A and B are shown apart, each in its own frame.
Chain A
Amino acid sequence: MQNEESDVLNRFQLGDTAAFETLFRVHQRAVHGWLLRMVRNHAAAEDLTLETFWRIHQAHARFHPAQGFEGWARRIATRAALDWLRGRKVECELPAEIPAAMGADPAVSAEIRSKVALALGRLPPKLRIAATLALIEDLPGKEVAEALGISLAAQKLRVFRAVRLLRKELEQQGIKP
Chain B
Amino acid sequence: MKEDELGGLKGLLREALPPVSEDGVPERDLWPAMLRRMDAKAAGSQFALWFDGALLAGLAGVVVVFPKAIPLLLYYL
Q: Which of A78-86, A133-141, A144-152 contacts B (4 or more CB under 8 A)?
A: A133-141
Query: Is there contact, CB below 8 Å, between A108 and B22?
Result: no
B16 and A40 within 8 A (CB)? no
Which of A21, A102, A136 counts the most B-chain CB atoms under 10 A from its CB? A136
Query: Measured between alpha carbons, how far is A33 from B9 in the docked complex, in Å?
Result: 25
Report, as a range, how many residues of chain A touch the other chain. Answer: 35 or more
Q: Given that A29-B23, A177-B8 are contacting pairs, would A98 and B18 also be in contact in the complex, using a CB cutoff of 8 Å? A: yes
Q: Is the CB of A50 within 8 A of B37?
A: yes
Q: Chain A, 86-108, contact with B by CB distance < 8 Å: what is the 0/1 string? A: 00000000110011111011001
| B37 CB, nearest partner CB in chain A, Å | 6
Asked if A29 contacts B25 (CB within 8 A), the reply is yes
Interface residues of A in 17-46 (CB under 8 A from B): 17, 21, 24-25, 28-30, 32-34, 36-37, 40, 42, 45-46
Q: Which of B18, B24, B31 contacts A101 (CB under 8 A)?
A: B18
Number of B residues with CB within 8 Å of any CB on chain A:
30
Contact B30 A99 (CB under 8 A): no
Known: A24-B31, A163-B9. A101 touches B14 (CB 8 A): yes
CB distance from B68 to the nearest CB of A (A): 44
Contacts of B38 in A (CB 8 A): 17, 54, 57
User: Assuming A33-B22, A40-B20, A137-B20, is B13 touching A25 (CB within 8 A)?
Assistant: no
Check A32–B18 contact: CB distance below 8 A: no
Is A8 among interface residues, defined by CB-CB distance under 8 A? no
A153-170 with Cβ < 8 A to chain B: 156, 159-160, 163, 166-167, 170
Asked if A33 contacts B17 (CB within 8 A), the reply is no
Contact status B9-A104, CB under 8 Å: no
Chain B residues whose CB sits within 8 angstroms of the CB of A112 once the complex forms? 12, 16
- Could you say which residues of chain A place their CB within 8 Å of the CB of B30? 24, 28, 32, 46, 49-50, 53
Among all A-B residue pairs, the 4 with the closest Cβ atoms:
A36-B24, A116-B16, A101-B18, A177-B9
Q: A28-B31, A108-B15 provided; 20 other pairs, C-beta below 8 A?
A: A24-B31, A28-B30, A29-B25, A36-B20, A40-B20, A45-B24, A46-B28, A53-B34, A57-B38, A98-B17, A99-B18, A101-B18, A102-B18, A104-B18, A113-B16, A117-B16, A117-B17, A135-B10, A135-B14, A177-B12
